[in-house]
Amino acid sequence: MRHRERDRDGWQNGGRRFLTLLPGLLIVGGVFYDLGTPDTFTAVPLFTAAPLIAAPFSSMRGTAATGVAACAAVTGMHIYSDRLTGIPAITEILTVFTVSVLALFLNRIVRRSGERLASARVVAEAAQRAVLPTPDERIDSLKVAARYEAAERDAFIGGDLYAVQETPYGVRLIVGDVRGKGLDAVGTVALVLGAFREAAEQEPSLAGVAQRLERALAREGARDAGFESFEGFTTAVLAEIPGDGERIRIVNRGHPSPLLIAADGALLVLNPPERALPLGMDLGTWPDLVSETSYPPGGTLLLYTDGLSEARDARGVMYDPRTRLGGRAFSGPEELLDMVVADVRRHTGGAATDDMALLAVTRRGEQ
């Protein structure tokens, strides 16, 4: 996969270099075309295309230089042919000059748009790092790794979330997916994670943490009585690993079931005892059921969003993490996530349509 990305970047860099050289080639080609054809033929289309092509890919100085070269070329051709004072010659020179001036305005617009886009990307990246900080690699007897894979290249932020919190009740984790996109989804992500970090420290039970998140979303919904607020919800799975590290407790609120991969590759799907509604549905109070399973030494717990389980290939076949990961052994969470990310890219051909959040936790083997 890395080779494919390098090849793609190579093609992009090569294409950009070609487009940078193309205006000069057009001017030179226009000169030879004018010299080699009768007077009734004109190379003005080539001369006018040169500054227009330079505008989005060159600096203001480079675009201006291209325009000057194009004007000089068309003027020089008419001087060489002794046609400078004719109406057709004046019209062609004015045409190339006018297009060159327009190219300068186009260059300015493109540069300003690029600066705003770069600024927005920096802000988005900083926001994501603030909202979704990288968890510690080691917490007690656990090794931890997390990934956020955006569907769109150069996009940094969306509605998927994860967090890891060391608490008096053990290590608590959450992976979730907020309905919707854009800044509204980001605001809900910040709300859910803030409520989770507070509740994880204070609530003695995992069910209590889920109820705190429910109330936080209900309070936020009450502030905004709009239709979108009522329809908004968050699927989430919460996990708790007590201090001895021998058990995993799970509360699932309408989210894809986590996977537990043993050191020998045996895979267990941690399905909830009953399907529960996502957080924020506001359809009444329902007791959260906590499931518990043993956590073998060397085992890895994988929590993920539906960007993984609903990734489709060209035929529309969805990615199945159970069959893809079952029977495979991993030395740790980083190796597992490396493999999953690369495998999903192969499956989708690099054309994923949804963001993907991954959180893997490995219990270190017996010393």
Cα separation of 120 and 58, whole Å? 22
Q: Which residues contact 301 (CB under 8 A, 6 or more apart)?
A: 239, 241, 248, 258, 259, 260, 295, 360, 361, 362
- pLDDT the model gives residue 115: 67
- Structure-token match 């494919």, residue found: 4
Q: Which two three-digit tokens encode residue 1?
A: 């996969």
Tens of pLDDT along 132-164? Answer: 778 899 998 899 999 988 776 555 566 889 999
> pTM (2 decimals)?
0.67
Q: Which residues of the chain have pLDDT under 70?
A: 1-16, 114-131, 152-158, 180-184, 222-232, 282-285, 366-367
- pLDDT the model gives residue 16: 67
> Quick check: 191 and 217 in contact, CB under 8 A?
yes
Cα separation of 20 and 102, whole Å? 18
Kindly report the CA angle at 237 between 293 and 322, in degrees rounded to 5? Answer: 65
- pLDDT the model gives residue 201: 94
What distances in angstroms separate CA 40 from CA 33, 45, 89, one per listed residue? 12, 14, 11
